[in-house]
């Protein structure tokens, strides 16, 4: 056996360093991928369970929310009159404003003025009042654990004034819509 064919100590040390680097690189890559997967899964769970992101379709919430807006909702325990909520109706997600809660008595006159428990609602978010489509009788008492909802564009909105939609049961609510992500010109909290 010739001495020239054996690797030198320096060559062996260099090869050992290369192998260690490959092993460390593999560990770092696996660790990074695992961390990214955990973060992605946590983000998806948070978005799905606590902060649903939704895209507005239709004109029933104009001018507060417009067709194509992207907003975030948050799941809370109780919803108050004036809150904009997202709820499930016929496997669709609808967005409307809470006008009455369980036990409230709602009336809407022919001019579209809404009364809750005999008091006129100050609806500064409306551009015009309209009685819209209605097939329920007033005064209407909101059942317990349910919410009477109206769209801000009353002429275009199908909401609790129509018996096929009716009041929204608390179990069907996805959350309170509170923040607009898109378009960037309207980015911010929703009133």
Residue with tokens 């006008």: 99
Rounded CA separation 124/128 (Å): 10
Of 34-43, 113-122, 137-146, 166-175, the least confident: 34-43
Q: What pTM did the predictor assign?
A: 0.75
115 Cβ contact partners less than 8 Å away, ≥ 6 residues apart: 106, 107, 108, 109, 121
- pLDDT band at 13; cut points 50, 70, 90: confident
Q: Provide the residue ranges of all domains of the chain, joining segments of one domain with +.
A: 7-49, 54-189
Are residues 177 and 115 in contact, defined by beta-carbon separation less than 8 angstroms? no
Rounded CA separation 59/66 (Å): 6
CATH topology of domain 54-189: Umud Fragment, subunit A (2.10.109)
Kindly report, residue by residue over 72-124, the tens digit of the pLDDT. Answer: 998 888 899 999 999 999 988 899 999 999 999 999 998 899 999 999 999 88
Q: What is the DSSP string of 40-97?
A: HHHHHHHHHHT--EEE--SSTTTTTS-TT-EEEEE--S---TT-EEEEEETTEEEEEE
- pLDDT band at 4; cut points 50, 70, 90: low
């Amino acid at each position: 056996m010739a001495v020239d064919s054996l690797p030198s100590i320096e060559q062996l040390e260099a090869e050992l360093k290369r192998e260690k680097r490959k092993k460390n690189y593999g560990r770092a890559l696996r660790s990074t991928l695992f961390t990214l997967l955990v973060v992605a899964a946590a983000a998806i769970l948070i978005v799905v369970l606590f902060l649903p992101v939704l895209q507005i379709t239709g004109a029933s919430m104009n001018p507060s929310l417009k067709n194509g807006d992207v907003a975030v909702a948050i799941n809370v325990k109780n919803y108050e009159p004036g809150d904009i909520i997202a709820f499930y109706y016929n496997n669709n997600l609808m967005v409307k404003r809470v006008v009455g809660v369980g036990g409230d008595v709602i009336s809407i006159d022919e001019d579209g003025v809404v009364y809750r428990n005999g008091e006129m609602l100050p609806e500064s978010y409306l551009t015009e009042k309209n009685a819209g489509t209605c097939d329920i009788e007033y005064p209407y008492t909101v059942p317990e654990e349910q919410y009477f909802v109206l769209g801000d564009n009353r002429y275009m909105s199908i909401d609790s004034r129509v018996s096929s939609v009716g009041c929204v049961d608390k179990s069907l609510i996805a959350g309170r819509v509170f923040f607009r992500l898109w378009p960037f010109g309207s980015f911010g909290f929703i009133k």
